[in-house]
């Protein structure tokens, strides 16, 4: 059974997609063992608690400096003994020590088709604002391995979503979540849990 730890900063819609996937059979051979948020008010913590999942807040605001926060965050991760760490809208830079210790064991969902609209500063609604400003006709989402860069790790899964006339950043964001993010993340976890994606021998992009 793959032990999954989910890190999230906000409402937790991607977390909910994972929870639903474990309940409806889209994700097998995996369990969510802990949810960590940097935001005490994150609704994701409530989602976890309502589903009987251990929920922990580790906020930089509660520590004197970044080093203290990093140690506390590392402790919270290691207590869960995860096989896979899933970043599901987590807006904190991971400690380098964590990335090094869990190499090829951390995945992230990004709301665009990497390498488009990614990298430093590209998160949340900004991604969709930039996509509309550029006038692209197709966007989407990407699940990728996490390395020491920003959105630079090997791609696992991608799914395209059409941009429609009259889209606003908000409507596009919602469509990308519904049609791509909430599909890709459960699928990636299931494929990893059942050995259909070997993170140690990643060989390219899998289309959906």
> 15 with 44: CB under 8 angstroms?
yes
Reduced to 3 states (helix: H, G, I; strand: E, B; else coil), residue 156 is strand
**Is residue 110 flagged as an active site residue?**
yes
What are the C-alpha distances in Å from 132 to residues 109, 118, 126, 129, 207?
20, 14, 10, 5, 24
Q: Which of 199, 201, 110 is closest to 159 using CA atoms?
A: 110
Q: Which of 34, 47, 105, 110 is catalytic?
A: 110
Distance between CA atoms of residues 187 and 151, nearest Å = 19
The answer to whether 175 touches 161, Cβ cutoff 8 Å, is yes
Write down the number of H helices and E strands in the chain: 7, 8
* Residue from 132, 131, 142, 130 nearest 187 by CA: 142
Rounded Cα–Cα distance for residues 138 and 182 (Å): 18
Structure tokens at 176: 């990308």
Active-site residue list: 110
């Amino acid at each position: 059974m793959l032990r999954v730890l989910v890190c999230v900063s906000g409402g937790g819609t991607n977390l909910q997609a994972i929870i639903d996937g474990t309940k409806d059979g889209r994700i097998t051979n995996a369990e969510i063992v802990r949810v960590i948020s940097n935001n005490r008010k994150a609704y994701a913590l409530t989602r976890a608690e309502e589903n009987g999942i251990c929920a922990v807040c580790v906020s930089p605001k509660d520590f004197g400096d970044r080093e203290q926060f990093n140690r506390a965050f590392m402790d919270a991760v290691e207590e869960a003994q995860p096989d896979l760490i899933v970043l599901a809208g987590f807006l904190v830079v991971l400690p380098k020590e964590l990335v090094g210790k869990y190499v090829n064991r951390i995945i992230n969902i990004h709301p665009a088709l990497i390498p488009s609209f990614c990298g430093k500063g590209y998160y949340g609604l900004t991604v969709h604002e930039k996509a509309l400003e550029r006038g692209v006709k197709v966007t989407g989402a990407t699940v990728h391995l996490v390395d020491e860069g920003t959105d630079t790790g090997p791609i696992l899964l991608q799914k395209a979503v059409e941009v429609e006339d009259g889209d606003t950043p908000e409507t596009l964001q919602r469509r990308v979540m519904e049609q791509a993010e909430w599909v890709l993340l459960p699928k990636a976890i299931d494929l990893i849990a059942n050995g259909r994606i070997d993170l140690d021998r990643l060989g390219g992009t899998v289309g959906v």
